[in-house]
Structure 1
Amino acid sequence: MITTTQRPLFLIFFAALTAGAGNGISLVAFPWLVLQRNGSAVEASIVAMAGTLPLLVATLIAGAAVDYLGRRRVSMISDALSALSVVAVPVIALIFGADAINVAVLAGLAALGAFFDPAGMTARETMLPEAAQRAGWTLDRSNGVYEAVFNLAYIVGPGIGGLLITTLGGIDTMWVTAGAFALSISAVAVLRLQGAGTPNREHMPQVWAGVVEGLRFVWHSPVLRTLAFVELAATGLYMPMESVLFPKYFTDRNEPAQLGWVLVALSVGGLVGALGYAALSKYANRRTIVLVAVLVLGVSMTVIAFLPPLPVILVLCAVVGLVYGPMAPIYNYVMQTRAPAHLRGRVVGVMGSLAYAAGPLGLIVAGPLADAAGLHVTFLALSLPMLVLGAVAIFLPALRHLDREPESPTAAG
């Protein structure tokens, strides 16, 4: 039973689950609507890219918006605009007919929705310290459960999207997607939490000046700066494996179901890893977890580079998800405890935008290399630097700060 003091924390979890599920359904529904029209994979890719490219800039701005407008308000505005971007699909179809839902319209709406999502995610993450304190939970535990809920949403969402498309059709599925965002708005609307309302803007800089202030804070914090570079490198090397190399490998073999199993293994491993960290965070050494995650990722990617049988790939993917599941909770903890409350949104935004920047950088290299040199060479070209990153991380002194108590007494939560 949820107690009064736990209510804000569980409302944030529910908002993250429903908004994440809405995004998960969109991931399936938008490409499906394109493929349903003419079966063009190129046009489906255009819509998929439209849903990811805005994330880099949007995440950077989102942090400043959270600090300037307030956490609850930004969370609700973000979800409302995301809901509008999906409900526009059936509305346009009703007014102008289904033929009006072309690739340009879908790409524009996907980009619109993606542009608002980071603000909502940033707002919810920045409310966790105060919610954890109200609930009597440690911040590590709260972040672990939050990330597990978020992973669960992205496992369940696409599955629900597939069922909805089968029963309702792609266009009407968007009504349900909008409803998921509405549930998230409702949860945050009744949330009452210190620091979540309208902030004091007396000494608040303008948006771009605020973004620069967030960048400066991250740069001058050794532990945040080091984590940002580790995340940038790890994401840039890992993302192409999931987004390009595995799809190409299984497409070439005409085994789409096997690709689905691989992605499920990664997601379930991440879910279990985040939940495990939530349970064991009191006894866990954060630096050790980070080092093990990066090293295991490098070793697993290197073994996968030799394209072993599917059961081996599935086990390795599950292990990757398991060891990498605690990374996001640890990153959240460091950002939440090192940044002062008035800067928290901008710091989360800066760190998130660096992670989003890494993915496209890796994809620019991996795609052409896979076509020119083959999958085996491309896997090795990504996995060997990951091994080097893991070895270098052992000697990074800033990572030792991960297990030191934060200086701010309010951040310990």
Structure 2
Amino acid sequence: MTEDVPGSGKRSLRPLSGVLAAMAVSLTGTRVSAVALPWFVLVTTGSATQTGLVAFCEMTPYVAVKAFTGPLVDRIGPRAVSWTTDLASATAAAAVPLFHTLHMLSFPLLLALVALIGAVRGPGDLAKEVMVPEAAERGGVPLERATGLSGVTERLASTIGPAAGGSLVALLGPLTGLVVNAGCFALGSVIIALALPRGMGHAVEEAPSQAGQPEPGYWRRFGEGFTFLRGELLLLTVIVMVGVTNLLDAGFTTVLMPVWAKESGNGPTAIGLMGSVLGAAAVAGSLVASLAAHRLRRRLVFFTGFLLAGAPRFLILASHAPMGAVLAVFAVSGFGSGFLNPVLGAVLFERVPRRILGRVSALGDSLAWAGIPLGGLAAGAAVASVGLAPVLLAGAAAYFLTTNLTGLRPEWREMDRASGRDAHDRQPEEAVQSSSANLTT
């Protein structure tokens, strides 16, 4: 194995493999927890409202902390941020089953622990994303391919995690799933801290400042990312639309699916099976998109993907259809969702400079995820008030209208124009890595 030093002429896949492996284990653990934690709250409290409240307390600090972490990741270095936050996530996740076993886990303590997990998981996820471009450069891997592999890694975690989570919860109980989540975070921390090459993941260099001017501080770095994003109307429109769909998806995943599984008698195994079918079909869609999407109009691919990925999932659960039909619809929805991130990745790849990658990615992700904390809370309150079926129908209508009405705005034409650019003609400092894996749930 050669030492992976940019510019030395020596290339190795070790950096990219290490980053992708750390992403895979931490994301898989998170997906296991996404099944185990709502089920744990639902069966111990019997309350859809409290289940939504737990999701709110995890995702609110995730979004809030991540929004302001970008400048720190750029300044401290993504490697240090990644392994320390993963270690903190592992500790907090392990505390939930530990305190429950000791009969010390009150509901307020549970909310505090999941809030801590969310607060440290956001910077950890961001730091791994930021290391992908450097890992690709050290390995001589085209950036487009590296970001594609990052997206496939996320989709595979979304396939394996729910299946493992549903099986663990059904066979051994939800606390086992939470223990597995803690172990995955710990393993991800070890991979980043020990398995990556020396010198990787350090702070990025700022643009040279004028003589006599101090190094830019935190708020100036934050402002640079905000100013850049404010001038990108297409990216802002994408973020707003994805923000609404993320809110709906969060309510669907954290409350509506568990409630449906409980009321229908299918149990937690069905939750895992549906999530795995969705994830596997999304992997297939992503692979097809990587081969064919560049030959098609981006807008057509993007909005067709959303048409398949959104409303049908809500409608099939509201229809009391048999499990086979539910899985078929989830497969079609997953396939459509697989086309979304490649398009988002291409657009972001062409627009965001590497130097401000951390802060722009953090802001973009946080804005797109801003509705997620409210999704579970709103869904839980709505189900408690009017029942499951009306909430599913309302969610389907909101998803359809959001993704179709937004597409009428004129700035979407820039998405197709951008596809004609040659990425190889850009200057090296303008190369970027997409954070699109975080723009959809």
TM range (shorter): 0.7 to 0.9
Matched, 1:74 2:81: yes
Instruction: Check the 8 A contact 2:26/2:185 in 1, yes or no.
Output: yes
Change beyond 3 A, Cα 1:78–1:147: same
Cα distance in 2 between the residues matched to 1:137 and 1:266:
29
SS at match of 1:51: helix
Query: What is the deviation of 1:60?
Result: 0.4
Query: What is the deviation of 1:11?
Result: 0.6
More displaced stretch, 117-126 vs 325-334: 325-334
TM-score by length of 2: 0.77
Match of 2:124 among 120, 124, 136: 120
The amino acid that maps onto 1:130 is E
Cα distance in 2 between the residues matched to 1:185 and 1:355:
26
Query: What is the deviation of 1:112?
Result: 0.4
Query: What is the deviation of 1:377?
Result: 4.4
SS at match of 1:197: coil
TM-score by length of 1: 0.82
Match of 2:202? 197
Query: What is the deviation of 1:13?
Result: 0.8
Structure 1: any 5+ residue segments left out of the alignment?
A: none
Alignment of 1:22-101 (within 5 A): 22-31=29-38, 34=41, 42-89=49-96, 98-101=102-105
Match of 2:428? 409
Query: What is the deviation of 1:396?
Result: 2.0
SS at match of 1:5: coil
Q: 1:227-267 CA deviation, whole Å, 9 max, x = no partner?
A: 22332243345544444555555554444355554333322
Count of residue correspondences = 409
Instruction: Check the 8 A contact 1:223/1:398 in 2, yes or no.
Output: yes
Match of 1:224? 235
SS at match of 2:202: coil
Alignment of 1:234-383 (within 5 A): 234-249=245-260, 251-256=262-267, 258-278=270-290, 286-297=298-309, 300=312, 304=316, 307=319, 309-310=321-322, 311-360=324-373, 371-372=385-386, 374-375=390-391, 377-383=393-399
Cα distance in 2 between the residues matched to 1:37 and 1:375:
23
More displaced stretch, 182-191 vs 325-334: 325-334
Match of 2:209? none
More displaced stretch, 270-279 vs 161-170: 161-170
Alignment of 1:386-397 (within 5 A): 386=402, 388-389=404-405, 391-392=407-408, 396-397=412-413
Query: What is the deviation of 1:38?
Result: 5.7
Instruction: Check the 8 A contact 1:295/1:387 in 2, yes or no.
Output: yes
Instruction: Check the 8 A contact 2:166/2:272 in 1, yes or no.
Output: no
Change beyond 3 A, Cα 1:117–1:80: same
Matched, 1:20 2:27: yes
Change beyond 3 A, Cα 1:330–1:63: farther
Cα distance in 2 between the residues matched to 1:245 and 1:55:
21
Query: What is the deviation of 1:322?
Result: 1.3
Query: What is the deviation of 1:329?
Result: 4.2
SS at match of 2:129: helix
Matched, 1:400 2:416: yes
Match of 2:225 among 207, 210, 214: 214
Instruction: Check the 8 A contact 1:301/1:383 in 2, yes or no.
Output: no
CA RMSD, Structure 1 to Structure 2 (Å): 3.8
Q: 1:130-176 CA deviation, whole Å, 9 max, x = no partner?
A: 22233343333222221222232243335445666678776676555
Query: What is the deviation of 1:50?
Result: 2.0
Percent identity, please: 27
More displaced stretch, 379-388 vs 141-150: 379-388
Query: What is the deviation of 1:110?
Result: 1.1
Match of 2:191? 187
Cα distance in 1 between the residues matched to 2:57 and 2:392:
29
Instruction: Check the 8 A contact 1:18/1:181 in 2, yes or no.
Output: yes
Structure 2: any 5+ residue segments left out of the alignment?
A: 3-9, 207-213, 433-441
Cα distance in 2 between the residues matched to 1:188 and 1:376:
41
Change beyond 3 A, Cα 1:49–1:8: same
Instruction: Check the 8 A contact 1:298/1:386 in 2, yes or no.
Output: no
Cα distance in 2 between the residues matched to 1:154 and 1:219:
32
